[in-house]
């Protein structure tokens, strides 16, 4: 005979069923409250999140790096920037021979008395070239050649060509005392056409 038969057993089974339902109900409420709390946390974090600055700080970094240089280096960087911009504009409207002749004449008449290492001259051209729109390999090589000639060096400007998938590509690089000082990263891929002293 069942021990829980009769009215007492029926009441026990109903109370047990109600306890199970109550536990399920509380568990459901806890899960819903956890979801609501998670949603509220995300919403609050989005509302309180600080907006990102819309100012581009790259220009500020360039200015700070520029002012950390010595006075001689700042002067050299400014000269390189102005020279690259001038060569770029003049080559756009005038032939190469005329520009090369003018630069050679000017570099011979205005020599730099202070001794500047050739590495710093090439460094100044490399640093300022990305800031000048359209500063191609030819523009950089001509500017570096002018600066080296003003310091008493005798560099040679080389021109070369190659083919890539049927296209004819040209490149200009600068050599000093038999060493490639500018544009030599890809120079071995090109066949030399001519060189200008």
List pLDDT tens digits, range 5-49: 555 555 555 665 566 555 655 555 565 555 555 655 565 555 445
What whole-number distance in Å separates Cα of residue 7 and Cα of residue 167? 100
Residue 154, phi then psi, degrees to nearest 5: -130, 80
Radius of gyration of the chain (CA): 38
Q: In whole angstroms, what is the distance from residue 8 CA to residue 145 CA?
A: 109
Choose between 2 and 101: higher pLDDT.
101
Is-contact 197 174, C-beta < 8 A?
Answer: no
Residue 88 confidence (pLDDT) above 90:
yes
**For residue range 113-148, what is the model confidence (pLDDT) as tens digits?**
677 888 989 999 999 998 899 899 999 999 999 999
Could you tell me the pTM of the whole model? 0.65
């Amino acid at each position: 005979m069942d021990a829980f038969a009769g009215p007492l057993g029926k009441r026990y089974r109903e109370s047990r069923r109600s306890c199970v339902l109550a536990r399920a109900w509380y568990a459901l409420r806890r899960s819903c409250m956890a979801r609501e709390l998670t949603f509220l946390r995300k919403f609050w974090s989005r509302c309180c999140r600080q907006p990102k600055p819309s100012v581009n700080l790259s220009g500020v970094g360039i200015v700070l790096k520029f002012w950390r240089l010595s006075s001689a280096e700042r002067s050299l960087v400014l000269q390189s920037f102005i020279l690259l911009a001038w060569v770029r504009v003049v080559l756009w409207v005038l032939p190469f021979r005329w520009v090369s002749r003018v630069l050679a004449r000017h570099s011979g008449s205005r020599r730099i008395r202070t001794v500047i290492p050739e590495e710093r001259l090439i460094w100044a051209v490399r640093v300022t070239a990305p800031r000048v729109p359209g500063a191609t390999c030819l523009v950089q090589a001509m500017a570096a050649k002018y600066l080296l000639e003003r310091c008493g060096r005798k560099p040679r400007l080389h021109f070369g060509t190659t083919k890539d998938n049927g296209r004819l590509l040209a490149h200009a690089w600068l050599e000093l005392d038999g060493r490639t000082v500018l544009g030599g990263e890809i120079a071995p891929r090109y066949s030399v056409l001519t060189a200008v002293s």
